[in-house]
A and B are shown apart, each in its own frame.
Chain A
Amino acid sequence: MSDVVFFINLYLIPGLTIGAIYALGAVGISMIFGILRFAHFAHGDLMTIGGYGVLTAVWFIPLHPLLLLPVGIALAICAALAVDRFFYQPLRQLPTIYTVISSFGVALIFRSLAQLFWSSGNQVFIPGVRPPLVLFDTFRISTLHAQVIILTVLIALALHLFLSRSQMGRSMRAVSDEPELAAIAGLDTAKVVRWTWIIGASLAATAGVFAGMDTSMHPNLGWNLLLPMFAAAILGGIGKPMGAIVGGLIIGLAEELVTYPWIGTEPFISPSYKSAIAFLFMVGLLIFRPQGLFKGRLL
């Protein structure tokens, strides 16, 4: 295997895959921060809930997990709208730190419920080894990785069109820009908030299923991905959903590419340290460019 093929098969594609998962989760974090003005620490666990929704559907309906994605999305949307109604909405008029702390509580509730209903062990969507896709007799790409990358590109495109062309998308950007002016302009901010949860939860559930299929489902799945997703949201610029997608891809690629043997034959950085990359990105950004790449809101 040539160096280029080795690089693409084992580093670039897996990097893009994990980056796509971060990106989908980061979009919700970025949108919620932009519109509701708080860091939603239960977002990773919303991914977990969505993932388990699809896992449960797979037990009862013998279809490919990706075809059952709407089940996980519906479950995550219901969970998000319910926690907003009962946990976050009553705190909306208070300083945002109350809502942030509340989201930590919600994260614990989601994780505990996942353990209660689905056990604390690892569970897989499809047992057994799946053959990779072989392209041009050279590139050996996991089918799931190809599906994740293609679906994420399509989702990013749809999201871009939604935010730039639709009335609701523009209203969401307007509320994110100037909430008081949005109310003065007569925009229905309650509806905008609902749509923020619907889109954020849908993408989180999709990311949860992707992550669960790539490894396995377990109650800490989403929580473990929270840090890189926050790093991606900050990198893209808080309140900039399309920036969050770019941020996710950069963080995912960076995590994988630092383990490539750039010098000699040993990994440049040991894979066991790669999760520190997101942390380094986040600390560096907060110090040197807190508004992110696309001039988002300051934290």
Chain B
Amino acid sequence: MTPILSVKNLTAGYGGASVIENIGLDFAKNEIAVIIGPNGAGKSTLLKTIFALTETSNGSVEFNGQDITGLQTSLLVPLGISAVPQSHNVFPTLTVEENLDIGTYAAPPVNMMAARDKVLTLFPDLADKMNQPAGELSGGQRQMVAMGRALMSDPSLLLLDEPTAGLSPVYLEKIFDLLIDIQKSGVTIIMVEQNAKQALRIADQGHVLVNGQLFKSNAGNALLADDEVRRLFLGGVAA
């Protein structure tokens, strides 16, 4: 089956310096793929490069067979790719409703009400906060707004940069459960995650980056059971 996203020999970074080197990865349709690795491994840079927010010096990114390398960030949403950055992921002075609606502006024509209903079904906690500025919400609620905004455009691919960063354990579990629901609705998810063990449990595929290079790829469960991965990246304990 044609992968939804292919990264081929990708080298990219900032200000002329490479952070990731020669990375090649295929992501299958409707899977949850998790990218893990130590700090500074280039996980977020890989995600940002897919979203054209870094300088690509070599390689290519293909979405459904179409070369999107370096395509202007704002042109990716109409293609069906949405992203949620780790921080600064909501418009703080805009209300929750406005944040969500903005997700539809660049998308192919979508029924705003239907899209909003779909998002509120996933995130019912937001229903009574629609008129509140997003900047006044808690970290977990903001993450829901950010993911809701990204889903409003009815994407086929969702990129998430550390969706559980800084969240309480309650929200952490909630977000992982939601990711499974989002996947079930037909969305492919690629995410970078620090909570590696929990993320790999729900992942179809896991990819380990070390020093900007691909160290290992395997099914999520297989990586959890992998002695080397456990020892180096999962605190050395059995999952």
Residues of B within 8 A of A181 (CB): 85, 88-91
Tell me whether A171 and B73 are in contact in the complex, defined as CB-CB below 8 angstroms, given that A178-B88, A181-B85 are known contacts. no
Interface residues in B94-110 (C-beta closer than 8 Å to A): 94, 98, 101-103, 105-107
B236 CB to closest chain A CB (Å) equals: 36
Which of A9-17, A122-130, A184-192 contacts its partner?
A184-192
Q: Which stretch of B2-10, B59-67, B74-82 is in the interface?
A: B74-82
A contact residues around B91 at 8 Å (CB): 173-174, 177-178, 181-182
A265 touches B (CB below 8 Å): no
A171 to B104, CA, bound (A): 11
The answer on a CB contact under 8 Å between B106 and A185 is yes
CA distance A181 to B153 in the complex (A): 15
A183 within 8 Å of B (CB atoms): yes
* Complex alpha-carbon distance, A187 and B76, angstroms: 10
**Number of contacting residues on B, CB 8 A?**
27
Bound together, the chains give a CA A177 to CA B88 distance in angstroms of 9
Q: How far is the CA of A189 from the CA of B103 in the complex (A)?
A: 14
**Cα A177 to Cα B89 with chains together (Å):** 11
User: How far apart are the CA atoms of A43 and B239 in the complex, in Å?
Assistant: 62
CB neighbours (8 Å) of B76 from chain A are: 186
Q: Is A167 located at the chain interface by the 8 A CB criterion?
A: yes
Contact (Cβ within 8 A) A167 B105? yes
Interface contact B85-A171, CB-CB below 8 Å: no
Partner of B53, one of A171, A174, A180, A188: A180
**A177 neighbours in B (Cβ, 8 Å):** 91-94
Kindly list chain B residues whose C-beta atoms are within 8 Å of the C-beta of A167: 105
Q: Are A184 and B94 in contact (CB under 8 A)?
A: no
Contact check, B102 vs A170: say whether CB atoms are below 8 A apart.
Answer: yes
Q: In this assembly, does B83 line the interface, its C-beta being within 8 Å of a C-beta of chain A?
A: yes
B85: chain A residues within 8 A (beta carbon): 180-181, 184
**B74 to A187, Cβ gap below 8 A?**
yes
Q: Mark A183-216, 1 if CB is under 8 A from B, else 0.
A: 1111111000000000000000000000000000
**Contact in complex: B149, A185 (CB < 8 Å):** yes
Interface of A is mostly: helix
Q: Decide: A184 and B102 in contact? CB cutoff 8 A.
A: no
Measured between beta carbons, the chain A residues less than 8 angstroms from B51 are: 184
CB neighbors of B among A132-190 (8 A): 167, 170-171, 173-174, 177-178, 180-189
Residue numbers in B under 8 Å from A183 (CB-CB): 73-74
- B93: chain A residues within 8 A (beta carbon): 173, 177
In the bound assembly, the distance between CA atoms of A208 and B79 in angstroms comes to: 45
B163: min CB distance to chain A, Å: 14
The count of chain A contact residues (Cβ–Cβ below 8 Å) is 17
- Closest residue to B84 on the A side, CB-wise? A184
**A42 CB, nearest partner CB in chain B, Å:** 27
Q: Do A186 and B107 have beta carbons less than 8 Å apart? A: yes
- Report the Cα distance A174→B51, complex, angstroms: 19
Shortest distance from the beta carbon of B98 to any chain A beta carbon, whole Å: 5
Docked Cα-Cα span, A295 to B128, in Å, equals 25
- Per the bound structure, the CA–CA distance linking A189 and B72 in Å amounts to 11
CB-based nearest B residue for A176:
B93
Q: In the complex, what distance in Å separates the CA atom of A167 from the CA atom of B107?
A: 13
Which residues of B sit under 8 angstroms from A185, Cβ to Cβ?
Answer: 77, 102-103, 105-106, 149-150
Across the interface, which residues of B come within 8 angstroms of A184, CB to CB?
51, 53, 73, 83, 85
Q: Chain A's nearest CB lies how many Å from the CB of B169?
A: 27
Give complex CA distance A174, B104 in Å: 13
- Which residue of chain B is the closest to A188 with respect to CB atoms? B74
Instruction: Name the distance in Å between A46's Cβ and chain B's nearest Cβ.
Output: 26
Q: How far is the CB of B190 from chain A (nearest CB, A)?
A: 15
| Cβ-defined contact, A188 with B106, below 8 A | yes
**A243 shortest CB reach to chain B, Å:** 11
- Encode contact with B along A250-294: 1 for CB under 8 Å, 0 otherwise: 000000000000000000000000000000000000000000000
Closest Cβ–Cβ distance, residue B134 to chain A (whole Å): 9
Nearest-neighbour CB distance to chain B for A226, whole angstroms, equals: 26
Q: A180-B88, A183-B73 are in contact. Are A173 and B94 (CB under 8 A)?
A: yes
The residue of chain B having its C-beta at the shortest distance from the C-beta of A189 within the complex is: B74
Contact of A171 among B75, B77, B102 (CB under 8 A): B102
Closest partner residue, chain B, to A174 (CB atom): B91
How many whole Å from A248's CB to the nearest CB in chain B?
A: 20
- How far apart are A98's CB and chain B's nearest CB, in angstroms? 19
A187 near B102: Cβ-Cβ < 8 Å:
yes
Contacts of B105 in A (CB 8 A): 167, 170-171, 185-187
Residue picked from A178, A180, A183, A185, most chain B C-beta under 10 Å: A185
B residues bordering A, Cβ < 8 Å?
51, 53, 73-78, 83, 85, 88-94, 98, 101-103, 105-107, 149-150, 153
Seen from chain A, the residues whose Cβ lies within 8 Å of a Cβ on chain B are 167, 170-171, 173-174, 177-178, 180-189
12 example contacts (A-B, Cβ-Cβ < 8 A) are as follows A173-B93, A178-B88, A178-B91, A180-B85, A180-B88, A181-B90, A183-B73, A185-B77, A185-B103, A186-B74, A186-B78, A186-B106
